[in-house]
Amino acid sequence: MSKRQAMLDKGHTMLNKLENACLLEGGSHDEFIEKEYFVKMHDLIRDMALQIAGPKFMVSEDVPDEEEWGKDVEKVSLLSDRESEFPYISPKCPKLSTLLLLGYATIPDSFFVHLHGLKVLHVFGGRIKSLPNSISDLENLTSLRVYRCFDLKRVPSLAKLTALRSLDLLESATKEIPHGLEKLVNLRYLSLRAYNQEMPPGILPKLSQLQVLKLNCGSNSLTVNGEEIVRLKKLDLFKGKFCGLNDFNTYLESLEGGPSHYVYCARKTKPASELGETVKLLPKDVQALAIFGGQNLRFFYKCMKSVCIRECEEIEDVFSYSFTFPLQSLEIVQLVKLDKLLVLFREEKVTPAPMVPPSTFSRLKEFTICECPNIRQLFALGVLLNLANLEQITVFRCLQLEEIIARPKASDEVDEEEAKEIVEIFPRLRRLTLVISPELNTICSSSNVILCDSLDSIEIEECPKLKRLPLSLRRINGQLASLPSSLQIKIEKERWELLEWDNHDMKMVLEPCCEFSYFKVKSQCG
Structural domain includes residue 4: no
Element (H, E) at 246: helix 245-254
Predicted confidence (pLDDT) per residue in 174-199, tens digit: 778 889 999 999 999 999 887 767 88
Q: Is residue 167, in this structure, part of any structural domain at all? A: yes
Residue 446 sits at the vertex; the CA angle it makes with 442 and 449, to the nearest 5 degrees, is: 90
Any domain includes 495: yes
Mean pLDDT of 452-478: 88
Quick one: 22 and 108 in the same domain? no
pLDDT value of position 196: 64
Does the pLDDT value for residue 394 go beyond 50? yes
193 pairs with which residues across the strands? none
Residue 310 covered by a domain: no
Q: DSSP for 121-146, please give it.
A: EEEESS---B--GGGGG-TT--EEEE
Of 512, 521, 470, 469, nearest to 492 (Cα)?
A: 521
Domain endpoint, select from 142, 159, 193: 193
What is the tally of structural domains in the chain? 3
For residue 230, the SS3 value is: helix
For residues 177 and 59, state if they share a domain: yes
Indicate if 143 and 33 belong to the same structural domain: no
Other beta carbons within 10 Å of 519 = 14
445 and 488 both lie in a single domain: yes
Asked whether residue 409 carries a pLDDT value surpassing 50, the answer given is: yes
pLDDT of residue 218: 64
Same domain, 24 and 71: no
pLDDT at residue 184, as a whole number: 96
Q: What is the mean pLDDT of the chain?
A: 82
List pLDDT tens digits, range 62-77: 899 999 999 999 999 9
In sequence order, what DSSP letters do the residues of 11-47 get, joined into one string? HHHHHHHHHHTTSSEEEEEE-SSSEEEEEE--HHHHH
Look up the pTM and report it: 0.65
Compute the radius of gyration of the chain from its Cα atoms. Answer: 28
Indicate the DSSP class of residue 180: T
Over 70: is that where the pLDDT of 267 sits? Answer: no
Does residue 70 belong to any structural domain of this protein?
Answer: yes
Residue 43 in this model has a pLDDT that exceeds 80: yes
pLDDT at position 496 over 80: yes
Q: Last residue of a domain, which of 161, 193, 225? A: 193
Residues 189 and 102 in one domain: yes
Asked if 283 and 307 touch (Cβ cutoff 8 Å), the reply is no
Let me know: does 385 contact 364? Beta carbons within 8 Å. no
Separation CA 255–CA 283 (nearest Å): 8
pLDDT digits (tens, 9 = 90+) for 206-217: 999 999 999 877
Q: Are residues 69 and 25 in the same domain?
A: no
300-304, 460-464, 522-526: the lowest-pLDDT one: 522-526
Name which of 333, 340, 337, 349 is nearest 383 in CA terms. Answer: 333
Which segments of 128-202 does DSSP mark as H helices, in order?
none
- pLDDT band, residue 526 (cuts 50/70/90): very low
pLDDT higher than threshold 60 for residue 325: no
453 and 427, same domain (yes or no)? yes
pLDDT of residue 189: 94
Same domain, 75 and 21: no
Instruction: Give the pLDDT of residue 352.
Output: 47
In a domain, 31, yes or no: yes
Same domain, 27 and 162: no
Q: Could you tell me if 140 and 176 lie in one domain?
A: yes
Which CATH number do you get for residue 100? Answer: 3.80.10.10
Which domain, by its residues, includes 330?
A: 316-347+358-407+423-525
Element (H, E) at 309: strand 306-310
Claim to verify: residue 22 and residue 123 sit in the same structural domain: no
User: Which DSSP state fits 221?
Assistant: B
What is the percent of the chain with per-residue pLDDT over 90, rounded to a whole number? 41
